Amino acid sequence: MMNKPPPIPPPPISHRNHESDASHRLYWMLAPAVLLGVLFAIFLLSWIVNRSDNGLGNDATESGSTPTVAVSLDQENGNVSNQGRQTTSNNANSAVADESTSDPLGTKDPNESKVPSSETKAASEEDVANNQETILRIVEEKRTSKPSQSGAMDANLAARDGVNPFVGTGTPAKTTVYVIDVSGSMQTSDRLPRVISTLKVAVDLLHSDQKFTVILFDDSTHINPVGNGLLLANKKNKQAMYDWLDTTPGGGGTNPLPAMIIAIQQKPEKIVLLSDGEFNPASAFAITQANRSNAKPARIDCVGLMEEVETLKEIAKSNKGTYYQAQ
């Protein structure tokens, strides 16, 4: 009789660890809470930072930091203040500066940088328009104000410190064109004789290797009959010019633009423009534009006779010249 194999014992009964189950459940309960807390902290921090930035921006706006500029000319140097207008020339200057730094190796065509951008042209035209408005306002104030009484006059004109305004200060120019107002107002009293006398003194001081010419204007232009263009300052040409100036024509209105265009076409080193009254401010802008069209613009000195002439101040300022107030 065969023996039966021993019975296979049943598998051991596993006892679950109740403590591990409790820890497992606690972990999954706390994990979402911690995650939500972290998200809330991030949101709160972001809100605080945004609020701080907005506060700084508001402070900057409320502090009045908007850039403004005064288009002005100091009374001594030939300018009148026109405060409170927001500038556009700063933007134009920034654009030019950006162009000058964008090519440090100098690979661009040097002539290319001289061409003004459309923004620069717009800024320049707006500034000129604002200057014209200022000049017109001052001219109107002068017309409605009581005229000043002039005292005794010297035989010749003299600007401040006794300077002959046709000679000026600094190094004498090699070529000079004198543009003189002979309009109706210049025919009164002794204005024109004193101007011609002072001009003759300036011409007499020129050396024979210097060149000059004289152009007269009222509402038309009077070209000297001595010769075309710039003349050598020799004795013959000087005397012929004096003879013509002794029979000076004129007597109409005041329009220096055609005479100044002719003077600029001579391409002199210096132009001296004299007038005793205001004229169209648009002419001042046109004169400056014509002068700047030359490769080497002339220095334009201006002489205001008897009263300050704002249009002349603007021309001198825009063309690297000096304004002289002569009595």
CB 70 within 8 A of CB 81: yes
Q: How large is the C-alpha radius of gyration of the chain?
A: 40
Contact, 178 vs 212, CB < 8 A?
yes
- How far, in Å, CA of 74 to CA of 313, rounded? 10
Q: Which amino acid is at 217?
A: F
Encoded amino acid at 268, one letter? P
142-148 long-range contacts, CB within 8 A, separation 24+: 142/278, 142/307, 148/307
Amino acid at residue number 62: E
The dotted CATH code for 154-326 is: 3.40.50.410
Tokens 């075309």 correspond to 228
What pLDDT shows up at residue 120? 54
Instruction: State whether residue 196 is helix, strand or coil.
Output: helix
Give residue 128's identity as a one-letter amino acid code. Answer: V
CA dist list (Å): 102 to 13, 105, 111, 121, 151: 84, 9, 15, 20, 59
pLDDT in tens, the chain (327 residues): 556 666 666 655 555 555 556 666 676 677 777 788 878 888 787 777 666 555 544 444 343 332 222 222 233 333 333 333 333 344 444 443 444 444 444 444 444 444 455 555 555 666 656 666 666 555 555 444 433 333 333 457 777 668 899 999 888 999 999 999 999 999 888 899 999 999 999 999 999 999 999 999 999 999 989 888 999 999 999 999 999 999 988 788 889 999 999 999 999 999 999 999 898 999 999 999 999 999 999 999 999 998 899 999 999 999 999 999 987
pLDDT for res 153: 38
Which residue type is seen at 283? S
Going by the DSSP 8-state scheme, the letter that residue 180 receives in this structure is E
Query: For position 100, what pLDDT does the model report?
Result: 43
CA distance 169 to 306: 20
As given in the structure block, the two tokens for residue 30 are: 């706390």
Task: Compute the 3-state secondary structure of the chain and give helix, strand, coil in percent, each to the nearest 5.
Answer: 45, 10, 45
For residues 278 and 306, give the distance between their C-alpha atoms in angstroms, rounded to a whole number.
12
Q: Could you give the CA distance from residue 313 to residue 79 in angstroms, rounded to a whole number?
A: 7
- C-beta of residue 191 within 8 angstroms of C-beta of residue 229: no
pLDDT at 44: 80
CB 298 within 8 A of CB 316: no
